[in-house]
Structure formats: C-alpha cells, structure tokens
Amino acid sequence: MFMTPKRSKMEVDESRVFRAEWTQRYLVVEPPEGEGALCLVCRRLVVATRERDVRRHYEAEHDYYERYVAEGERAALVERLQQGDLPVVTPLTPEERAARAGLGLARLLALKGRGWGEGDFVYQCMEVMLRDVLPEHVSALDGVDLSPEVTRQRVLNINKNLRSQLFNRAKDFKAYSLALDDQAFVAYENYLLVFVRGVGQDLEVQEELLTIINLTRHFSVGALMAAILEALQTAGLSLQRMVGLTTTHTLRMIGENSGLVSYMREKAVSPNCWNVIHYSGFLHLELLSSYDVDVNQIINTISEWIVLIKTRGVRRPEFQALLTESESEHGERVNGRCLNNWLRRGKTLKLIFSLRKEIEAFLVSIGATTVHFTDKQWLCDFGFLVDIMDHLRELSELLRVSKVFAAAAFDHICTFEVKLSLLQRHIEEKNLTHFAAFREVVDELKQHLKEEQKIFDPDRYQVVICRLQKEFERHFKDLRFIKKDLELFANPFNFKPEYAPISVRVELTKLQANTNLWNEYRVKDLGQFYAGLSAESYPIIKGVACKVASLFDSNEICEKAFSYLTRNQHTLSQPLTDEHLHALFRIATTEIEPHWDDLVRGRNEPNP
C-alpha cells in the first residue's frame, strides 16, 4: 500500500516557463513580474502559461494576425506592437462577407455529404425565404456564388487550409502514432485512411486525417509504403518520432511476411527510437471479429431477408424500427457492402433476433423459404452469434471513448479477455446465464423436442470462443510487452520502483516523495498532471508519458470517417477525384477550425 510521500521542495515546472519563440508565434511577451504571458495586442495577461493556453487565447482573440505569415512580416508586426502601434483590423467588404458565407455553406454541404450541385438549391431556398421575411435584404445574396464549380473549389481550399494548420502543429509533435484503416470504400474502389495522433510538449493530443490512399492504384505493399512515407515527409514527421501503429487485422496489414506492418516496423527501426508498438484490434472490432464467430454464415442469410423487407415489406409496421435504423446508417438506397457491414454489428443482430417471428411470418406470406426456422443447429448458431456480438459491441463502445489514453483502453481489453474465459467455462457447463438470446432459443426448442434429445453441442461454441481468445492475444501482443510502461503512466505514485525499468527508478522515487505533485495527481486528470510535470526534473518519465499518450486509445476518429462514408455512399460514389474525397473526409473528421479570413482573402499558406 502506498504511504503518504515525504514533503520536498517543488521543482520548477518547465512547461509553465515562458518560451521566447512564443513572441513571434502568438504575439506575447514575458511580463516584468515574470509570471504568465502578456498579450501584445489586447494587453491582457494570460495567467496559466502553458503553450496550449497561450495558443487558445491567440486563436480565439487574434486570429486576424495570421495574415502576417512571412518571417520578415511577422518580426515587423511584433516590433510595431511593442511600440504600441496596433495595426488597424480591416473589416470585411460586402464581397468578402459574401465569400465568407459561401465558404461556410460549402463546408456545411461537405459535412452533410451533399453534392456540389445542391448549392444552387440552397441559394433558391434562401432567396424565397428572404423575399417573404426580409425583402429589403434580398440583394445581399447577389454576391453569394453557390455554383457547383465554385463550391467544389471552396471545399478544396478549406482542405488546404486545414492541412496547412495540421502540418504547422505536426512540427511540434514530440511523438506520434499512425492508424491505418483499409476498410474504407467508395463504389467499387477501396481506400486506405491514414490517421495521425500527435502529442506536443504540453501533452495536448491531436488526432487528424493525414492522407487517403487509393488501394486500386497502390495495390502492392511497396507502393502503399512509399505513399505513406511521402505523406509523413510532407507533414514533416520523421520515423524516429513514430511510437505506435494501429491497424485492422487484414492480411494486407498484418500478413507475417508481406504485411504492411512488417515493412513499416523495419523502416522505423533506428538506434534513437522505440520499437514501434503495433496492435490491430481497435479498428472495426465488431465488423472483423464477426467473420471469426459466424460459424454458419448466418449474416449472409439475414442479408437476404433484409433485401426482401426493403423491397417487399417496406410498409409493414413491424419493420419500421428496423428500416429507420438501416436508413440512418446508410441511407434509403441499399448498398450491398454497407448493408453487410451494418448487419455485422451487435446492436443490429439483436434487433433482428427480436423480430425473428415477424420475419418468418413475412417470408411465408411472400412465398420465400423458411427452412432456417426449422433447423435446430442454425437457430442455436443464430442465438450464440447474437450474444457474442453483443459482448463485442459493449467492448467496442468502451473503446470508442477518446482521450482516456492507451492504459485505460488496454484495461478494457484485459477485462474482456477474462470475460471470454468465463463465457467458455459457462458454455462447457451448459450455463447460459450470459447468453440471453441463445438461452431463449434453447427454451423454445425444449418445448418442441423430446427431453432426451441433445439440443446443442458445447464443443462447437467453445472452439469459437477459444479462436476469439487467440485472436485477441495476437492483436494486442505488443501492448503486453509495454504493460509496465502503461501501468507506470497510469499510476506513477502506486507503482513500486523496484518493478520499474532501471533507467526510471531514481526519477520515480523522487516523484513519489514529492507531496505537491501527489496533490496535483489526485485533483487533475492524467493529461493535465503530465503536462505540468517538469521535463527538466523528470526527463525520462516525461518522455514515457509523451510516448504512451501518443498511442491511439480509441477508434473514435476511424468510426467518424466510416460513419460518414456509409451514410453518404451514394453522393461519394459520384465521379470525384481522390483529391476531393480527401477534402471531404478531412472536413468530416477534423477538430481544427479553418482560418476563414485567410480563405476569404486567398491567403492560404503554400503547402509543403
């Protein structure tokens, strides 16, 4: 049990020390009293001097000054501000305001997955509304151009602006990880989405889309590797700073000799960097695991039912909840691949299982085959699949929570593995306590079969659970190798120094003896605690914290992109260049706000 640490003098918190480069970057100077940062524009004191606080003040209050981008321009601006000569903020002209409105609408159309041509329809709607409500302001629409060509170009400009901001932030990443998602598709073409998660000195986490790669044109692993390295080089990210790699568990990604992961790890090996940590179970956990547990091709059969319901049972009241759920996921038009992916979710299977009686009656009414409803083995497999997928859904929802760090996510994985062992024992004992759907099927079958007849074979389902356990062990093997680092990061005050790596023991002992840091640890979340930890006094622990914080802790950004793709598949399937697709996916997933003034005045920074 951890004892109360001895009181010692508080070390200087380096992350709170003013840095000289902030003057040109954020237009602040160190005040005479030496605490905080004094803004040269509004003369306000930013009290909490972490870079994130200074940057937030600058972006919220003085984004206008981003127009001074050249080094000479910036230095001259700082000199003028220090002399009290505040540049006049030029208000937007009517033409610029119209352009700003057009940019905002172009972004909204992209976010909602609408086609370029719908800008004209939006213009007509606004014209009708203003004519009836504010007739004196109808002329304000004269300068707003929402034609398809202009809207298309504006979306590209917004993408360039967001991309430029990402690259500027990437220069400050102390460590980063990549997530490679090869399950994206548009019409008949497959894409690899490459996401980056970077961490700066103040441990502020940034997750963004780095690039998309057309797998039809980059079929070989070598071509994929070259495209990813080019994207990293363009963003100014060296392989020496790469800590982790999160992928799907397809052969293209994790094939033993020819998978992309083995190529990436070979390329990233150097004396100055960690071995790259790879784990492959975070992305599309339900979708890809369903192929391991669907022992009787249940989902293919259900897919045929859904197509029949969408074509011949759309007006039936018993199916309205199912159809509404389907349309919210992938629209009214049935796309075979979107439908298949939707059916491989625990929530969907559970809903369909609850409607199995109604589906059987519907199939009888249209003369379709109902042989599966009299097949004892098939019904048991269906119930088992529903329950296992529901357990995977619960895990997937836990892994969708972001900003919890990889240590907490790994705890969820370990807990689920223990749960699988429990489920396997229960199946062996024919105890269906945690198999609600399976138990329901068995109870129904008991009413129609003789007592001495065997209803299900436990070995059949034990094999499936055992296979799932082995897959989890393989997917998260690397995280087990760094388990001590994860535990040290999550609980630095409870971690016994004798179990820590030799290089960190002195710092850890010193940290645990610091009462002030202990008090901070109790009241702050992990990110805030490590952001305030002095890199000068605790360089090794701070380095471990940066690396652990850079590991992907959730599948949130990948799910956001995949959800956008499935909802808007019809629009995205229209003739679009890869550049336009890249722009749409970036706008749909980013947390960065475009610099609107730069876009209006055509002052995008040149792309590297």
Q: Is residue 563 situated within a structural domain?
A: no
Band of pLDDT at residue 331, cut at 50, 70 and 90: low
Residue whose token pair is 């009656």 = 361
Contact 342, 565 (CB under 8 A): no
Q: Point out the domain boundary residue: 66, 81, 96.
A: 81
Whether 250 maps to a domain, the answer reads yes
Contact status, residue 326 vs residue 306, Cβ threshold 8 Å: yes
Give me the half-sphere count of Cα atoms (radius 13 Å) on the Cβ side of residue 233: 6
**Residue 497 placed within a domain:** yes
The torsion of the CA quartet 46, 595, 402, 508, rounded to 10 degrees, works out to: -40
Confidence at residue 605, expressed as pLDDT on a 0 to 100 scale: 43
Could you list the residue range(s) of the whole structural domain that residue 433 is in? Answer: 285-476
Residue 416, SS3 per DSSP: helix
Q: pLDDT by residue (tens digit) across 516-552? A: 999 989 888 888 888 888 888 999 999 889 999 999 9
Residue 77: CB partners within 8 Å, gap ≥ 6? Answer: 27, 65, 68, 87
241: in domain: yes
Regarding pTM above 0.95, the answer is: no
Contacts of 432 (CB under 8 A, 6+ apart): 426, 438, 439, 442
Q: What is the pLDDT of residue 332?
A: 56
Structure tokens given for 105: 């609408």
Cα-based distances in Å from 389 to 21, 393, 437, 567: 52, 6, 11, 22
Tally Cβ neighbours within 10 Å of residue 6: 9
Do 300 and 434 share a domain, yes or no? yes
The confidence score (pLDDT) of residue 12 equals 38
Strands 175-186 and 189-199: what pairing? antiparallel
105 within domain boundaries: no
Query: Does residue 233 belong to any structural domain of this protein?
Result: yes
Largest CA distance in the chain: 96
What are 180's strand-pairing partners? 194, 247
Report the C-alpha gap between 489 and 479 in whole angstroms.
Answer: 13
Question: Could you tell me the two tokens for 530?
Answer: 């490590």
Give the DSSP letter of residue 245. E
Q: Which two tokens stand for residue 601?
A: 């005045």
pLDDT score, position 233: 94
Percent of the chain with pLDDT over 90: 35
Provide the mean pLDDT of the chain.
84
Confidence of residue 271 (pLDDT cuts 50, 70, 90): very low
pLDDT score recorded for residue 7: 33
Contacts of 273 (CB under 8 A, 6+ apart): 239, 240, 241, 242
Neighbouring CB atoms inside 10 A of 164's CB total 19
Cβ contacts of residue 354 below 8 Å, gap of 6+?
none
Of the listed ranges 65-69, 383-387, 453-457, 497-501, the one predicted with least confidence: 65-69
Per DSSP, 172 falls in state: T
161 and 250 assigned to the same domain = yes
pLDDT digits (tens, 9 = 90+) for 447-461: 877 665 688 889 999
In terms of domains, do 464 and 508 share one? no
Q: At residue 264, what is the residue type?
A: M
**Of 1-15, 44-58, 313-327, 537-551, which has the strongest mean pLDDT?**
537-551
From first CA to last CA, the distance across the chain in angstroms is: 53
Boundary residue ending a domain (505, 533, 548)? 548
Burial classification of residue 538, based on how many CB atoms lie within 10 Å of its CB (0-12 exposed, 13-18 middle, 19 or more buried): buried
Same domain, 403 and 529: no
d(C-alpha 208, C-alpha 392), whole Å:
26
Sorting pLDDT into bands at 50, 70 and 90, what band is 607?
A: very low
Across 60-75, average pLDDT: 73
Of residues 566, 209, 554, the one with CA closest to residue 412: 554
| Structural domain includes residue 74 | yes
In a shared domain, residues 355 and 461: yes
Contacts 24+ apart (CB under 8 A), 562-567: 562/181, 562/183, 562/184, 562/284, 563/329, 564/113, 564/588, 564/589, 565/184, 565/185, 565/186, 566/329, 566/330, 566/335, 566/338, 566/341, 566/342, 567/113, 567/328, 567/329, 567/330, 567/331
In terms of DSSP H, where are the helices of 221-335?
221-235, 251-254, 260-268, 285-293, 298-312, 320-330
Residues 456 and 418 in one domain: yes
The torsion region of residue 75 among left (phi > 0), alpha (psi -120 to 50) and beta comes to alpha
Residue with tokens 């100014």: 236
* pLDDT of 336 above 80: no
- Statement: residue 180 has pLDDT above 60: yes
Q: What is the DSSP string of 19-66?
A: -TTHHHHHSEE--TTSSSEEETTT--EE-S--HHHHHHHHHHH-GGGG
What CA–CA distance (Å, rounded) separates 530 from 202?
8
Give DSSP secondary structure letters for 481-539: HTHHHHHHHH-TTTS-GGGS-GGGHHHHHHHHT-HHHHHHHHHS-HHHHHHTS-TTT-H
Are residues 396 and 541 both part of a single domain?
no
Same domain, 442 and 304: yes
Q: Does a structural domain hold residue 401?
A: yes
CATH number at residue 211: 3.30.420.40
d(CA 297, CA 406): 34
Q: What is the pLDDT of residue 185?
A: 82
pLDDT confidence tier of residue 340, bands split at 50, 70 and 90: confident
Are 523 and 428 found together in one domain?
A: no
* 57 and 168, same domain (yes or no): no
Identify whether residues 356 and 443 lie together within a single domain.
yes
Res 252: pLDDT: 86
Q: What is the pLDDT of residue 108?
A: 92
Please determine, for residue 436, whether its predicted confidence score (pLDDT) is greater than 50: yes
Taking the C-alpha atoms of residue 420 and residue 483, their distance in angstroms, rounded to an integer, is 20
Res 95: pLDDT:
83
Residue 502 predicted with pLDDT over 50: yes
Q: How many domains is the chain partitioned into structurally?
A: 4
Cα–Cα distances (Å) from 287 to 110, 396, 540, in that order, read 26, 10, 39
Whether 290 and 436 map to the same domain: the answer is: yes
Q: What percentage of residues in the chain have a pLDDT greater than 70?
A: 91
Closest CA to 285 of 468, 113, 137, 436: 468
CB 574 within 8 A of CB 201: no
